[in-house]
Amino acid sequence: MENEIKRPALPAGRNVPRDLFLHLLAIVTLYWSAISFVTLLWQFINNFFPDVLDYYQSMYSLGLIRFSVSALIIVFPVFIVVSWFLNKIYAKEAVVRESKIRKWLLYLTLFITALVIIGDFIFVINTFLGGEITTRFILKALSVNLVAGVIFGYYFDDVRRDTPTKSAKYFAWGSGVLVLAAIIGAFFIVGSPTSARLVQFDQQKVSDLQNIQYQIVNYWQTKQKLPATLSDLTDPISGFTAPIDQQTKSSYEYNIKDATTLSFELCATFNKPSHKNITPMAAYPIGAGIGQNWDHGTGSVCFERTIDKQLYPPITKTK
């Protein structure tokens, strides 16, 4: 037909699956890197501006920092390498830069970042009107706007150009320096892998002491006396045996302070001080166990406990 529109054929050697793979990989690693970077910034803010109402935030924050750093170490270099490789392809095959695959993904990125920026401003205004503006909140809002704004500005400029922008190199170097600085800063908070290993040993020791404490309370309830040694807690039926310190392979220290008042202490040797010290060690009636004060310093630390007979009365045997 004379009026039939003839579509231009794809250039010889054009590899559409390759283009789809590389552009998708570049966009996904960009999103992943941005989310990990913002998450890392938020945990820095949590660390320097802690919320006094959130006691357990510190340990949760350390986990997020480790995961974000791990993601940035792997994902961000992939994004940089794939972007560099795409620019090499653009220089040889200009048609790839104008492909619909790239245009759709870039405009999708602009759409998402625009929504993030708009939503962030709405949230800021709503929080301000509610009178809840704090330094912690303002810094988090700014970090989101900063990252989303930089991404939006760069790709909004790039998508309108026929040739790669000269700012691509500065964008790569600038973002690389910021990511590297964030990763280095994270190690000052979470410490080295060796330090993290020592912290894990300390956490296991606290868990073991909590378990032993529970068994001591149960022993008192069933036998109306404190165990003379930790070996008395051995129960072949339940399979319980007092755990040992997995780092030193030695038993935990257990001492009866006053058998009449049911006071005793459990001791362990710790590698590092606990992340948060709210109150000093003191003797007080045993409550739930896990919710008690298990803060500790470095070296040998003893936790003194007193069983509350009203909270944990003896278990009477029924005939």
> Domain ranges in the chain?
16-191, 195-306
For residue 255, what are the β-bridge partners? 265
Q: How many CA atoms lie within 13 Å of 131's alpha carbon, on the beta-carbon side?
A: 0
**Averaged pLDDT, 93-116:** 88
Residue 5 C-alpha from the chain's centroid:
56
Dist CA 45 CA 37 (whole Å): 13
Does the pLDDT value for residue 140 go beyond 60? yes
172-219 per-position pLDDT tens digit: 888 899 999 999 988 888 777 788 788 889 989 999 999 999 999 999
pLDDT of residue 277: 38
262-305 per-position pLDDT tens digit: 999 999 999 988 865 333 333 334 444 445 688 888 999 999 99
**Averaged pLDDT, 32-46:** 90
Cβ-Cβ contacts under 8 Å for 61 (sequence gap 6 or more): 43, 46, 47
Beta strands in 53-106 (DSSP E): none
SS3 76: helix
Q: Provide the 10 A C-beta neighbour count for residue 205.
A: 24
pLDDT of residue 52: 57
Dist CA 84 CA 106 (whole Å): 16
Q: Which helix (H) or strand (E) holds 233?
A: none
Residue 265 C-alpha from the chain's centroid:
34
Does the pLDDT value for residue 10 go beyond 60? no
pTM of the model: 0.67
Dist CA 162 CA 91 (whole Å): 11
pLDDT tier, 30 (very low <50, low <70, confident <90, very high otherwise):
very high
Q: What is the CA radius of gyration of the chain?
A: 30
For residue 304, what are the β-bridge partners? 265
Contact 291, 201 (CB under 8 A): no
* Listed residue (254, 259, 269, 273) closest to 211, CA to CA: 254
Give the pair of three-digit tokens for residue 35.
């989310």
Residue 230 has what DSSP assignment?
Answer: G
